[in-house]
């Protein structure tokens, strides 16, 4: 199994966004694909337009200059964040601290939106501003890559749908360029983020006691990657990785994970059908066989 690591300078805690805490930040990002235009058009926003732009300006991420907001507007923004949270959505995709002015910050963030893959001259849209993406970039990227992504920003913060807040400080790394230079292996994992997030949502319901933190996110991503190399359907791959998370004790090592998936794949070929048709009895037999072979 690949090395599991804590991202540098990442802090998670339960906190409610208030007018006072909002004042601590310099900039924010709003995603117009989630937040209706009527809820942000009155704010001092700067569209993160790229060239060539894949969408019109009002559909692109909006950088908000928090310095210029009145106390009354800040109070109103807190109400907006509460309304969106009740719907299970986030009003702010990110809250940031930095010393550069709006133009410099916007210029840097625009440059990060289009990334190239190794050996490919095409540009790909990079949704780093989405908190469901950034939370995984925090453990996937190297300190140098994180420093390049944040550029002039000192801290990147975000909330999840449960109200937990996260803060990532820029690694103290000196960089001469702001291009991240993502590797092929990193792109493979980024391509898997959507599946990873779907599995994480299901696990919150199926196994609410399973820890949702960076170490377990990495472990589940590794399990999904291993399942992808099997002959199973895409649905069964995800289900198998989720079941591995539920049944393997405390971040089991690579050997046990591979054995779990090998037994499940063999039993599935013997019984036919799909893993989602298995009842608890089938999974209990698998776990019993796994333990017998592991002892």
Q: What is the pLDDT of residues 108-140, one digit of tens each?
A: 999 999 999 999 999 999 999 999 999 999 999
In this prediction, residues 68-76 reach a mean pLDDT of 95
Q: Does position 142 have pLDDT exceeding 70, yes or no?
A: yes
Query: Which of 158, 181, 204 lies at the terminal end of a domain, its last residue?
Result: 181
Assess if residue 143 is contained within a domain: yes
Assess if residue 25 is contained within a domain: yes
CB 77, CB 17: distance < 8 Å: no
Q: Answer yes or no: do 201 and 157 share one domain.
A: no
- Neighbouring C-alpha atoms within 13 Å toward the C-beta of 130: 15
Q: What is the DSSP string of 239-292?
A: HHHHHHHHHSSSS--HHHHHHHHHHHHHHHHHH-S-GGG--HHHHHHHHHHHHH
Torsion over CA of 146, 156, 201 and 269, rounded to 10 degrees? 0
Q: How confident is the model at residue 171 (pLDDT cuts 50, 70, 90)?
A: very high
What pLDDT score was predicted for residue 13?
Answer: 67
What pLDDT score was predicted for residue 3?
Answer: 63
Report the share of the chain in percent with pLDDT over 90. 62
Q: Answer yes or no: do 61 and 175 share one domain.
A: yes
Q: Does position 295 have pLDDT exceeding 90, yes or no?
A: no
C-alpha to C-alpha distance for 7 and 136, rounded to whole angstroms: 9
Q: Answer yes or no: do 177 and 245 share one domain.
A: no
Q: Answer yes or no: do 153 and 258 share one domain.
A: no
Which pLDDT tens digit goes with each residue over 37-64?
999 999 999 999 987 656 688 889 999 9
C-alpha to C-alpha distance for 200 and 273, rounded to whole angstroms: 24
What pLDDT score was predicted for residue 11?
Answer: 72
Q: Answer yes or no: do 254 and 157 share one domain.
A: no
Q: Does position 215 have pLDDT exceeding 70, yes or no?
A: yes
Assess if residue 83 is contained within a domain: yes
Q: Answer yes or no: do 155 and 64 share one domain.
A: yes
158 forms beta bridges with 166
What pLDDT score was predicted for residue 55?
Answer: 65
Assess if residue 229 is contained within a domain: yes
The domain of 60 spans: 10-181
What pLDDT score was predicted for residue 273?
Answer: 73
Residues 6+ apart with CB under 8 A from 7: 138, 139, 146, 168, 214
Q: Answer yes or no: do 14 and 85 share one domain.
A: yes
CA distances from residue 79 to 75, 82, 95, 112 in whole angstroms, order as listed: 7, 5, 16, 31
What pLDDT score was predicted for residue 212?
Answer: 87
Q: How confident is the model at residue 277 (pLDDT cuts 50, 70, 90)?
A: confident
**For the chain, the helix, strand and coil percentages under 3-state DSSP, each to the nearest 5:** 50, 15, 40
Mean pLDDT, rounded, of the chain:
89
Query: Which of 122, 154, 181 lies at the terminal end of a domain, its last residue?
Result: 181
What pLDDT score was predicted for residue 161?
Answer: 76
φ/ψ region of 96 (left if φ > 0, alpha if ψ in -120 to 50, else beta) reads beta
Q: Does position 270 have pLDDT exceeding 80, yes or no?
A: no
The Cα diameter of the chain in Å comes to 67
Assess if residue 137 is contained within a domain: yes
Domain tally for the chain? 2
C-alpha to C-alpha distance for 249 and 244, rounded to whole angstroms: 9
What pLDDT score was predicted for residue 64?
Answer: 97
> What six digits make up the tokens of 116?
């190239």
Q: Answer yes or no: do 241 and 198 share one domain.
A: yes
What pLDDT score was predicted for residue 186?
Answer: 97
Q: Answer yes or no: do 74 and 23 share one domain.
A: yes
Q: Does position 2 have pLDDT exceeding 70, yes or no?
A: no
Residues 6+ apart with CB under 8 A from 280: none
Q: Answer yes or no: do 45 and 88 share one domain.
A: yes
Q: Answer yes or no: do 176 and 268 share one domain.
A: no
Query: Which of 148, 181, 214 lies at the terminal end of a domain, its last residue?
Result: 181
> What six digits make up the tokens of 122?
């095409």
Assess if residue 43 is contained within a domain: yes
What pLDDT score was predicted for residue 52?
Answer: 65
Assess if residue 2 is contained within a domain: no
C-alpha to C-alpha distance for 185 and 176, rounded to whole angstroms: 24
In this prediction, residues 258-276 reach a mean pLDDT of 83
Q: How confident is the model at residue 221 (pLDDT cuts 50, 70, 90)?
A: very high
Assess if residue 4 is contained within a domain: no
Report the share of the chain in percent with pLDDT over 70. 94
Q: Answer yes or no: do 173 and 199 share one domain.
A: no
Q: What are the backbone angles phi and psi of residue 130, rounded to the nearest 5°?
A: -75, 120
């Amino acid at each position: 199994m690949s090395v599991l690591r804590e991202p540098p300078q990442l802090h998670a805690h339960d906190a409610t966004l208030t007018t006072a805490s909002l004042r601590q930040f310099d900039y924010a990002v709003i995603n117009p694909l989630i937040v209706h235009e009527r809820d942000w058009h009155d704010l001092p926003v700067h569209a993160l337009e790229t060239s060539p732009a894949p969408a019109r300006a009002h559909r692109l991420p909006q950088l908000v200059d928090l310095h210029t907001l009145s106390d009354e507007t800040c109070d109103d923004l807190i109400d907006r964040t509460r309304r969106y949270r009740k719907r299970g959505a986030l009003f702010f995709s990110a809250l940031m601290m930095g010393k550069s002015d709006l133009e410099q910050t916007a210029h840097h963030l625009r440059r990060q939106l289009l990334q190239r893959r190794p050996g490919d001259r095409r540009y790909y849209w990079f949704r780093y501003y989405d908190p469901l993406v950034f939370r995984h970039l925090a453990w996937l990227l190297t300190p140098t890559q994180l420093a390049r992504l944040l550029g002039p920003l000192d801290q990147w913060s975000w909330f999840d749908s449960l109200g937990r807040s996260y803060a990532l400080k820029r690694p103290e790394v000196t960089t001469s360029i702001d291009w991240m230079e993502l590797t092929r292996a990193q792109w493979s994992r980024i391509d898997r983020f959507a599946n990873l997030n779907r599995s994480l949502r299901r696990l919150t319901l199926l196994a609410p006691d399973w820890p949702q933190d960076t170490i377990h996110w990495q472990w589940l991503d590794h399990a999904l990657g291993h399942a992808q190399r099997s002959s199973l359907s895409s649905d069964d791959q995800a289900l198998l990785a989720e079941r591995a998370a539920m049944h393997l004790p405390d971040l089991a090592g690579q050997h046990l994970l591979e054995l779990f998936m090998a037994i499940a794949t063999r039993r599935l070929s013997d019984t036919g059908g799909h893993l989602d048709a298995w009842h608890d009895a089938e999974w209990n037999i698998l776990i019993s066989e796994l333990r017998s072979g592991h002892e």
